[in-house]
Amino acid sequence: MDMQGAKVAKPWVEKADATYPALVDQSNKLGTKFQYNYVPLIILFNEQGRRVYGPQNFSIGDSEDRELLTGWLNDEPGVLAHRQASDGGQNGEFSEAEAALRFQYANYLLRNDQKASAVKQLEKALTSDPDNWIIHKQIWAIEHPEKFYDGNVDFGWQKEQLEREAQQNE
Protein backbone atom coordinates (compact mmCIF):
# COMPACT_ATOMS: atom_id res chain seq x y z
CA MET A 1 0.00 0.00 0.00
CA ASP A 2 2.96 2.36 0.38
CA MET A 3 2.97 5.23 -2.09
CA GLN A 4 6.79 5.09 -1.88
CA GLY A 5 6.70 1.67 -3.56
CA ALA A 6 8.61 -1.58 -3.20
CA LYS A 7 11.73 -0.08 -1.65
CA VAL A 8 10.01 0.75 1.66
CA ALA A 9 7.96 -2.47 1.75
CA LYS A 10 10.83 -4.82 0.88
CA PRO A 11 12.49 -4.92 4.34
CA TRP A 12 9.18 -6.01 5.90
CA VAL A 13 8.60 -8.72 3.30
CA GLU A 14 12.14 -10.01 3.75
CA LYS A 15 11.80 -9.97 7.53
CA ALA A 16 8.57 -11.98 7.29
CA ASP A 17 10.37 -14.47 5.01
CA ALA A 18 7.19 -14.51 2.94
CA THR A 19 6.51 -17.59 0.81
CA TYR A 20 3.53 -15.97 -0.91
CA PRO A 21 3.64 -13.27 -3.63
CA ALA A 22 4.00 -9.75 -2.22
CA LEU A 23 2.33 -7.28 -4.58
CA VAL A 24 2.93 -3.53 -4.74
CA ASP A 25 -0.15 -1.30 -4.81
CA GLN A 26 1.53 2.09 -5.02
CA SER A 27 -1.52 3.95 -6.36
CA ASN A 28 -4.10 2.31 -4.06
CA LYS A 29 -5.65 0.45 -6.97
CA LEU A 30 -7.32 -2.14 -4.73
CA GLY A 31 -8.43 0.46 -2.19
CA THR A 32 -10.28 2.25 -4.96
CA LYS A 33 -11.71 -0.95 -6.46
CA PHE A 34 -12.87 -2.49 -3.20
CA GLN A 35 -13.53 0.81 -1.43
CA TYR A 36 -11.48 0.52 1.73
CA ASN A 37 -9.86 3.37 3.58
CA TYR A 38 -7.59 1.66 6.07
CA VAL A 39 -5.19 -1.26 6.40
CA PRO A 40 -4.47 -3.96 7.51
CA LEU A 41 -7.35 -5.99 6.15
CA ILE A 42 -8.16 -9.12 4.16
CA ILE A 43 -10.26 -9.91 1.13
CA LEU A 44 -11.06 -13.54 0.36
CA PHE A 45 -11.75 -14.93 -3.11
CA ASN A 46 -13.11 -18.40 -3.83
CA GLU A 47 -11.85 -20.82 -6.49
CA GLN A 48 -13.94 -19.07 -9.16
CA GLY A 49 -12.46 -15.67 -8.37
CA ARG A 50 -15.61 -14.42 -6.63
CA ARG A 51 -15.16 -12.20 -3.62
CA VAL A 52 -16.65 -14.05 -0.66
CA TYR A 53 -15.45 -11.93 2.28
CA GLY A 54 -14.08 -8.50 2.98
CA PRO A 55 -12.54 -6.08 2.87
CA GLN A 56 -12.48 -6.52 6.64
CA ASN A 57 -9.91 -5.60 9.25
CA PHE A 58 -7.57 -8.47 10.06
CA SER A 59 -4.74 -9.13 12.49
CA ILE A 60 -2.80 -12.38 12.43
CA GLY A 61 -2.20 -11.88 16.16
CA ASP A 62 -5.95 -12.06 16.82
CA SER A 63 -7.11 -15.64 17.55
CA GLU A 64 -10.60 -15.04 16.11
CA ASP A 65 -9.11 -13.71 12.87
CA ARG A 66 -6.82 -16.75 12.64
CA GLU A 67 -9.75 -19.09 13.24
CA LEU A 68 -11.75 -17.39 10.52
CA LEU A 69 -8.96 -17.78 8.02
CA THR A 70 -8.04 -21.37 8.83
CA GLY A 71 -11.72 -22.31 9.03
CA TRP A 72 -12.38 -20.92 5.57
CA LEU A 73 -9.28 -22.51 4.08
CA ASN A 74 -10.34 -25.87 5.62
CA ASP A 75 -13.87 -25.56 4.14
CA GLU A 76 -15.58 -25.28 7.53
CA PRO A 77 -19.23 -24.50 6.78
CA GLY A 78 -20.70 -21.15 7.78
CA VAL A 79 -17.47 -19.66 9.09
CA LEU A 80 -17.71 -16.51 6.90
CA ALA A 81 -21.46 -16.03 7.28
CA HIS A 82 -21.15 -15.94 11.07
CA ARG A 83 -18.35 -13.39 10.99
CA GLN A 84 -19.97 -11.19 8.35
CA ALA A 85 -23.14 -10.96 10.44
CA SER A 86 -21.17 -9.75 13.46
CA ASP A 87 -18.89 -7.43 11.45
CA GLY A 88 -21.75 -5.81 9.52
CA GLY A 89 -20.57 -2.66 7.77
CA GLN A 90 -17.38 -2.02 9.71
CA ASN A 91 -15.24 -1.54 6.64
CA GLY A 92 -14.80 2.01 5.51
CA GLU A 93 -15.19 3.19 1.94
CA PHE A 94 -12.66 4.75 -0.36
CA SER A 95 -15.69 6.01 -2.17
CA GLU A 96 -14.91 9.67 -2.75
CA ALA A 97 -14.15 9.93 -6.44
CA GLU A 98 -12.30 13.21 -5.95
CA ALA A 99 -10.17 11.79 -3.13
CA ALA A 100 -9.26 8.77 -5.24
CA LEU A 101 -8.25 10.95 -8.19
CA ARG A 102 -6.19 13.28 -6.04
CA PHE A 103 -4.49 10.30 -4.37
CA GLN A 104 -3.42 8.99 -7.75
CA TYR A 105 -2.24 12.41 -8.88
CA ALA A 106 -0.27 12.82 -5.63
CA ASN A 107 1.41 9.52 -6.37
CA TYR A 108 2.38 10.78 -9.82
CA LEU A 109 3.76 14.02 -8.35
CA LEU A 110 5.74 12.18 -5.68
CA ARG A 111 7.36 9.95 -8.29
CA ASN A 112 8.30 13.09 -10.20
CA ASP A 113 10.03 14.66 -7.18
CA GLN A 114 7.25 17.18 -6.51
CA LYS A 115 6.88 16.34 -2.84
CA ALA A 116 5.24 19.62 -1.71
CA SER A 117 2.64 19.45 -4.50
CA ALA A 118 1.99 15.78 -3.71
CA VAL A 119 1.31 16.57 -0.05
CA LYS A 120 -1.04 19.39 -1.10
CA GLN A 121 -3.04 16.97 -3.25
CA LEU A 122 -3.18 14.44 -0.42
CA GLU A 123 -4.38 17.12 2.00
CA LYS A 124 -7.15 18.04 -0.44
CA ALA A 125 -7.98 14.33 -0.84
CA LEU A 126 -8.24 14.04 2.93
CA THR A 127 -10.61 17.02 3.02
CA SER A 128 -12.87 15.13 0.58
CA ASP A 129 -12.58 11.88 2.50
CA PRO A 130 -11.65 12.85 6.08
CA ASP A 131 -11.92 9.34 7.57
CA ASN A 132 -9.49 7.85 5.10
CA TRP A 133 -6.54 6.49 7.08
CA ILE A 134 -4.61 5.47 4.00
CA ILE A 135 -4.38 9.11 2.92
CA HIS A 136 -3.84 10.36 6.45
CA LYS A 137 -0.91 8.05 7.21
CA GLN A 138 0.57 8.55 3.76
CA ILE A 139 0.83 12.29 4.46
CA TRP A 140 2.63 11.55 7.72
CA ALA A 141 5.00 9.12 6.00
CA ILE A 142 5.96 11.68 3.34
CA GLU A 143 6.37 14.60 5.75
CA HIS A 144 8.07 12.64 8.52
CA PRO A 145 9.95 9.75 6.88
CA GLU A 146 12.25 9.47 9.90
CA LYS A 147 9.25 8.27 11.96
CA PHE A 148 8.53 5.46 9.52
CA TYR A 149 11.59 4.33 7.64
CA ASP A 150 14.50 4.62 10.10
CA GLY A 151 14.16 1.18 11.62
CA ASN A 152 10.85 0.56 13.38
CA VAL A 153 7.67 2.54 12.76
CA ASP A 154 7.29 5.01 15.66
CA PHE A 155 3.70 4.32 16.79
CA GLY A 156 4.21 6.51 19.87
CA TRP A 157 4.84 9.47 17.56
CA GLN A 158 1.69 8.63 15.57
CA LYS A 159 -0.37 8.71 18.77
CA GLU A 160 1.15 12.07 19.75
CA GLN A 161 0.59 13.38 16.23
CA LEU A 162 -3.09 12.46 16.41
CA GLU A 163 -3.36 14.36 19.70
CA ARG A 164 -1.60 17.38 18.18
CA GLU A 165 -3.95 17.36 15.18
CA ALA A 166 -6.99 17.03 17.45
CA GLN A 167 -5.82 20.09 19.40
CA GLN A 168 -5.27 22.06 16.18
CA ASN A 169 -8.79 21.20 15.00
CA GLU A 170 -10.45 22.31 18.22
Partner 1 sequence: MISKTFRTLITISLMVISLGIMPGKRQVLGDSMQSIRIYESTEDTTYHTAAIARGNQLYLSSNFLTSSLGLERKPLPNGTTGLCLGDLCIPMVSRSGDDPVYQEDNQEYYSINYFLDALGSRYTWDRESGTFLLGLRASNQQSPEQGTTPVEFSLPTMDGQEVQLSDYRGRKVVVFAWASW
Alpha carbon distance 134, 89 (integer Å)? 18
Do the Cβ atoms of 125 and 98 come closer than 8 Å? yes
Instruction: State yes or no: residue 162 binds partner 1 (CB under 8 A).
Output: no
C-alpha neighbours within 13 Å on the C-beta side of residue 162 = 9
Cis ω for the linkage preceding 40 (within 30 of 0): yes
Least Å distance, CB 167 to partner 1, is 22
Instruction: State yes or no: residue 119 binds partner 1 (CB under 8 A).
Output: no
Instruction: State yes or no: residue 124 binds partner 1 (CB under 8 A).
Output: yes
Reference 56, options 74, 73, 25, 35; nearest CA is 35
- Contact residue for partner 1 among 63, 88, 138, 159 (CB under 8 A): 138
Contact residues toward partner 1 (CB under 8 A) are: 1-2, 6, 8-13, 21-25, 27, 29-36, 39-55, 58, 69, 72-73, 97-98, 100-102, 104-105, 107-108, 117, 120-121, 124, 134, 137-138, 140-141, 148-149, 153
